[in-house]
Structure 1
Amino acid sequence: MTSIDYPRLRYLEAHPHQEQGKTYVILRDPTQISEQMLVVSPEFLGLLPLFDGRHSLLDIQAELTKRFGRIFFGEELREIIDRLDQVHFLESDSFKEFHARLRGDFAAAKVRSPHHAGSAYSSDAAELFDAVSAFYLHPEGAGSPQAGTGGAVRALVAPHIDLRSGGPVYTHAYRALAEGPPPDLFVIMGTGHMGLPQMFSISPKDFETPLGVSPVDLEFLESVKTHLGEQLFREDLSHRHEHTIEFQLVFLHHLFRLAPPRILPILCSFSYADLQGATSPHREWFARFVESFRMAQQETGRRICFIASVDFAHMGPRYGDSFQPDETLVQDVKRKDLDMLKSILSANPGAFLDYIASEQDQRRICGFPALYTLLHLLNGEKGRLLSHSHTVMDPTGSFVTYASAVFEQD
């Protein structure tokens, strides 16, 4: 028996798509291990629960014959299986081989290439530089920075929404950074959207954008590794496709284009529920991470600027809701953002955790783990909200909220 005899679908995202008055569904791999997509009918989507690893090909063929009211031939089913396997949507031998090659190639690379260049933003350095410059001058942008007019920045909160829609909001955070003295090290904490067994993943690779290459701070990294061991470095592949760190580097490289800054890239992934309970192993591991990080900072003497790369609420059918949002809901959600931001800007991680728990994360605040970690690493600095906005993501009205904020040193 092979995996194809009992086909099992990998976890996929399904998004509605309208074209010429007809409704389709786009299937994609949220981990981006496979970067291909399939456009299917809603009827086809209804068949996919049969591909659960428990139904044999004969079981599936019999069920399809019953549903379609005709003989569903084995050749037809085999075509479906082959197509799903070709785009690496099945848990199959060919997928395992593909995944192993991908992991090996990425492990061998010394530099993390700009995965989203050419799609989310221009791969041409001059075009990208001009595009980012234009974000500052956009009506919703921050305006041109005035060097030397600001204080030292301890931390930034910046979006990780698509640059093409949220670019101007990013600039409010980066103008504050540009107007103060530069730090020694940027610790960029991004949301790990697909989960991490160890809650955090640190990449030892340098990170590249079309505007430059930022070296990882190896001394700081080794200090962290001394205290925490190797486990945080085992999920390095999760950095390959994740955009949350890459998008911040586009703005950092725009500001520091002559000398790209040193970085430490960290993905964060856990929920409020993981931290509840005094004896939670996640809570204990989180406390160990924070303490080890503080010790590394003391040992290296680095002047650090933390960047939390986060979005806030995700609402609408695209994210699993049964309703289509309207403007009233958008404004209500943004008001709740402002309530939530009170605990963030006052650097109160306990109050922030309580707020998310009280909502049971019904608004899907994907930036929670990076923000919660940031609040534990600050030294009591308070924040200022600089900009707050939202983007409608698709024709269903699904939307994402986000903001820029700064924490300045006293």
Structure 2
Amino acid sequence: MNDQAPTSKFDPGLPHHARPKLRPVRGFPAQMGEQMVLGLADQRQISERVVFMAPAVQLILPLMDGNRTVDQIVAEVGRGLTHEMLEGVIAQLDDAALLFGPRFEELLVKVRKEFDGSAILPPASTAAFVDAITAQALGESASEEDKAAAGPGKLREVMDKWIGEALKDADEPSFNALPRAVVAPHLDYSRGWLNYAHVYGRMRVADRPDRVVILGTNHFGFGTGVVACDKGYQTALGTCEVDAELLEKLKANLGPDHAAKLLANRYDHEREHSIELHVPWIQHCLGAGPDGKHCKVLGVLVHDPAVDNGNSYDGQGLALQAFIDAMKKAIAEVGGRTLIVSSADLSHAGAAFGDKIQTLAGEEKEAVAFRNKVFQHDRDMIELVRGNKPDELVAAMSWQQNPTRWCSTGNLVATLKLVEPGDIQLLNYTAAMDQQGLGMVSSMAMVMN
């Protein structure tokens, strides 16, 4: 059952071993030698450990709910499962902090202490990308010092190449003035570069904003409502400090109780990519000011309002409308130019996301029909965005139960309600799919004034 030996052993005297409760995990297929195994990773990204087990463990995991004993799980699964095998699984999961218990709690305290100990979030997703392009340019044998020195230039070079490719045939390759809001993806750069470039490439000659509010999606965190970050962001291109003045105005307008909800799960931003991936584009295309500093930013994660009409999922988090009312007032109070970025991916379709279709690739009738159905749904929902109909968008997503898994309805709705635009233009729409056709993610580039 186990493919890795845990460093700690099963202890029947430990309550979380006697009645194990699995934390939220993400499973994925992997190959070890000639064997297919199941990889398990922390869905919340608190633990960086990944464990690999025999696929049969899928029969056990749903039963690890904190209520059943080891004896009960063995009896319920049957099929040759022994106490010794299950004890090994429990020890391995606990070793990786994938069970609720003291090990996970200690790790959580450590992660949160480190988060609160710095005013700036270090790069994560963007650092991995810069490492990859510098290694490709300099070779794997290049020193860390050489890669660090070359990284900023290589990143700017790649971005300029993407911008040139995206805008080479554009009728209007630049904005006449700074937009009030834009929509761009949070896909990894290799899949989303076209729509990042369509938006940010057009802002290179626009007036520089005083701040950028980036509204993202909470993919991994604990927050059930709107969650703000009280930190700035660092990338290979420099640092964007947090707009502390705007954050303080926002908190004051929310009042003590709602302000506490806004930041209670600030730790969700630690490994959240939907904010960070925009920061290098902001730094590169908007540049530094006369003081040599990049634009100040405020990162905010927005939940899905289609789940409960904008209320937090469990009633404990910050509701969407309360955030919108307070943020709109805060932006007016701080004055100056504020750019709002909706960091939005759209449909997530294919077998990788649970759809019952073998592949989306190719020209087989089933694949073509499935892709067209996704594209039609995207067109219908995008028309609601273009028509500045946020409430109708929420109603449609709720009624249809979000059939293609749009993951950013929340920040799109928040952007529309904060800006109340009179003019909305779709600059580009695209969908990225892996070669096997297992997964397809769509996104758009949009500007609001």
Give TM-score, length-normalised by structure 2. Answer: 0.82
Deviation string, structure 1 residues 222-243 (Cα, Å, up to 9, x no partner)? 1111111332111110000000
Structure 1 counterpart of 2:393, from 340, 345, 352: 352
Task: Confirm whether residue 52 of structure 1 aligns to residue 43 of structure 2.
Answer: no
SS at match of 2:270: helix
Task: Confirm whether residue 274 of structure 1 aligns to residue 274 of structure 2.
Answer: no
Instruction: For 1:76-91, list aligned pairs within 5 A.
Output: 76-91=85-100
Given that residues 154 and 304 in structure 1 are in contact (C-alpha distance below 8 angstroms), is that contact kept between their aligned partners in structure 2? yes
> Relative to 1, partners in 2 of residues 1:371 and 1:149: Cα closer, same or farther, differing over 3 Å?
closer
Deviation string, structure 1 residues 8-29 (Cα, Å, up to 9, x no partner)? 1111122345788865433222
Task: Confirm whether residue 40 of structure 1 aligns to residue 74 of structure 2.
Answer: no
- Structure 1 residue 133: Cα displacement: 2.1
Task: Confirm whether residue 222 of structure 1 aligns to residue 222 of structure 2.
Answer: no
* 2:187 aligned partner: 161
* Letter of the structure 2 residue corresponding to residue 348 of structure 1: K
Q: 2:97 and 2:46 mapped to 1: Cα distance?
A: 8
Residues matched between the structures, number: 400
Instruction: For 1:265-304, list aligned pairs within 5 A.
Output: 265-275=299-309, 285-304=319-338
Deviation string, structure 1 residues 186-220 (Cα, Å, up to 9, x no partner)? 11000112365451111111111111100111111
> Relative to 1, partners in 2 of residues 1:282 and 1:29: Cα closer, same or farther, differing over 3 Å?
closer
Q: 2:381 and 2:271 mapped to 1: Cα distance?
A: 29
Deviation string, structure 1 residues 146-185 (Cα, Å, up to 9, x no partner)? 9976223111100001111211221001123224222211
- Structure 1 residue 296: Cα displacement: 0.9
Q: 1:262 and 1:284 mapped to 2: Cα distance?
A: 24
Q: 1:379 and 1:276 mapped to 2: Cα distance?
A: 18
Deviation string, structure 1 residues 30-85 (Cα, Å, up to 9, x no partner)? 22112232333332222212222122122234445x312xx7252x3332222111
> Relative to 1, partners in 2 of residues 1:97 and 1:21: Cα closer, same or farther, differing over 3 Å?
closer
Instruction: For 1:315-394, list aligned pairs within 5 A.
Output: 315-324=349-358, 325=360, 326-393=367-434
* 1:15 aligned partner: 28
- Structure 1 residue 392: Cα displacement: 1.9
Task: Confirm whether residue 211 of structure 1 aligns to residue 237 of structure 2.
Answer: yes
* 2:152 aligned partner: 125
- Structure 1 residue 137: Cα displacement: 3.2
Q: Percent identity?
A: 25
Give TM-score, length-normalised by structure 1. Answer: 0.89
Given that residues 275 and 283 in structure 1 are in contact (C-alpha distance below 8 angstroms), is that contact kept between their aligned partners in structure 2? no
Q: 2:83 and 2:394 mapped to 1: Cα distance?
A: 54
* 2:297 aligned partner: 263
Q: 2:399 and 2:316 mapped to 1: Cα distance?
A: 20
Given that residues 227 and 302 in structure 2 are in contact (C-alpha distance below 8 angstroms), is that contact kept between their aligned partners in structure 1? yes
Structure 1 counterpart of 2:202, from 165, 171, 176: 176
* 1:108 aligned partner: 117
Instruction: For 1:90-105, list aligned pairs within 5 A.
Output: 90-105=99-114
- Structure 1 residue 381: Cα displacement: 2.8
> Relative to 1, partners in 2 of residues 1:63 and 1:357: Cα closer, same or farther, differing over 3 Å?
closer
- Structure 1 residue 98: Cα displacement: 0.8
Q: 2:267 and 2:318 mapped to 1: Cα distance?
A: 25
SS at match of 1:387: strand
> Relative to 1, partners in 2 of residues 1:55 and 1:243: Cα closer, same or farther, differing over 3 Å?
same
Given that residues 349 and 372 in structure 1 are in contact (C-alpha distance below 8 angstroms), is that contact kept between their aligned partners in structure 2? yes
* 1:398 aligned partner: 439
Which stretch shifts more, 238-247 or 18-27?
18-27
Q: 1:343 and 1:239 mapped to 2: Cα distance?
A: 29
Q: 1:341 and 1:321 mapped to 2: Cα distance?
A: 22
Which stretch shifts more, 289-298 or 152-161?
289-298
SS at match of 1:342: helix
Deviation string, structure 1 residues 336-374 (Cα, Å, up to 9, x no partner)? 212211111222212212221232111111011100111
Q: 1:249 and 1:337 mapped to 2: Cα distance?
A: 26
Q: 1:176 and 1:153 mapped to 2: Cα distance?
A: 10
* 1:236 aligned partner: 266
Q: Structure 1: give runs of 5+ residues left out of the alignment.
A: none
Q: 2:31 and 2:436 mapped to 1: Cα distance?
A: 8
Given that residues 45 and 220 in structure 2 are in contact (C-alpha distance below 8 angstroms), is that contact kept between their aligned partners in structure 1? no
Task: Confirm whether residue 6 of structure 1 aligns to residue 40 of structure 2.
Answer: no
